[in-house]
Chains A and B, each alone.
Chain A
Amino acid sequence: MGRSWGSVAEFEGFLDAGGIVEPVDAMPDEYRQHVFRFIELHANSELMGGLTERDWIPKAPGLRRKLAVLAKTQDEIGHAHLLYMVAADLGVKTRVEMLEDLFANRGRFHNVFHYQAVTWADQVAIAYLVDAAALISQQAVFKNCSYGPYKRILRRIVAEEGFHMRHGEEMLLVFAEGTAVQREMFQAALDRWWWPTLHMFGPPSKPDDALLRWHIKSERNEDLRDKWVQKYATLLTGYGFVPPDPDLRRDPESGRWVTGEIDWAPLKATFANLGPDSARRVADAARHWNETRWVREALESVARRAA
């Protein structure tokens, strides 16, 4: 069952012609591993993001915002669930193995979830800046991804991230149009989140990047980052906020934003789960996993009885 290819070159020809790979196909093992790692990273990031979001439900100001944060938390956990199912079907690890790796600090997740959100303004900066960055990256994958199940499931994830972004910008307006204290609060949050958001797109893509060659991703990291900078440098300065980059300027000829040099050391630290808040976050997630063990055991006994 499923299709097979005589050689990797033949498989690459299929991908270059816009071919879509399905889980039953006999894909080259290296492709399987790359797609799996990419989706696992995405799933872990949705879960870790959802857990941070959850921390802010009791602290969100006002009932309406609490409801919105509650819905957003449910979305992020839901996205993790969808993605873990798609990743598990690749047959590399089971869903539970991925979760246990994550909670045992053997998993990876996006750099932005290795930092602490200090105030409510940080949470708004995340909703406004980080979610927009995630959306730009996911849209690019969604448009052209060669792995069918991932491309299809991204359609709904991207739609829901759109709601989050609009919610983020609406909350930002409150700070932008607020008192001097509120404006300072958001500026301080922007100072903390600007660089991690730029890092989120990853270092410039290598010329031989397998994710690009196999059409898992369709755009280079630096191009996606530039797309974000053009839009958000304009919006933030328009609201009167100042990105913490003294070299950020508009090129006088093209009118495009140019950032200062990016220091990649903080991003590399998060790759090894050595970011400023990595240990606490992973330990917190692991604690929840252990505290809910009895629920999983109860469900498994239901499944055994049903069988």
Chain B
Amino acid sequence: MNVYEVFLKKAGKEEFRHAGSLEAADDELALVLARETYARRAEGDQMWLVERRHIVVADEDYVAPNADKPHRHNDGVRVAERRRAGSDRA
């Protein structure tokens, strides 16, 4: 048996979202089980099934360091100060 991860998407601008997982013998049976388990009340109209063993998982230590690169953001503080100073003068 294989473990599959189930993703659902509603029409429109929403992205695919992880709904949960299931165990099935093959892709066709996984689709049947996914529809009956995760979309009984039309929770989505598009569905992706991915075998869990095919998901590439990144290490958190690899992903997380990008949180400490402030040069990739701009907090807008300097511009805001200048604007405030400008409106005080007016």
Contacts and interface: CB of A to CB of B under 8 A. Distances in A.
Interface string A64-83: 00000001001100100110
A306 interface: yes
B22 A85 contact: yes
A274 interface: no
Interface in A197-243: none
B19, B36, B37 interface centre (most CB from chain A within 10 Å): B37
A299 interface: yes
B46 interface: no
Is chain B's interface secondary structure helix, strand, loop, or mixed overall? mixed
Interface in A264-307: 299-300, 302-303, 306
Interface residues of B, number: 22
Contacts, number: 47
A1 B60 contact: yes
Contacts of B20: 82, 85-86, 152-153
Nearest to A3: B60
Given A78-B40, A153-B20, A299 B1 contact: yes
Is chain A's interface secondary structure helix, strand, loop, or mixed overall? helix
Contacts of A3: 60
A140 B43 CA distance: 23
Interface of A: 1-3, 24, 71, 74-75, 78, 81-82, 85-86, 89, 95, 152-153, 156, 160, 299-300, 302-303, 306
Given A1-B57, A1-B60, A299-B1, A74 B23 contact: no
A89, A95, A160, A299 interface centre (most CB from chain B within 10 Å): A299
Interface string B11-32: 0000000011111111001000
13 contacts: A1-B57, A3-B60, A75-B40, A78-B36, A82-B20, A85-B22, A85-B23, A86-B20, A89-B21, A152-B20, A300-B25, A303-B1, A303-B25
B31 to A, nearest CB: 13
Contacts of B29: 299, 302
Interface in B43-88: 43, 57, 59-60
Given A1-B59, A82-B37, A302-B29, A95 B23 contact: yes
B36 A74 contact: yes
A81 B25 CA distance: 15
Closest 6 pairs (CB-CB, A-B): A303-B25, A302-B25, A299-B25, A306-B26, A85-B21, A78-B37
A75 B40 CA distance: 8
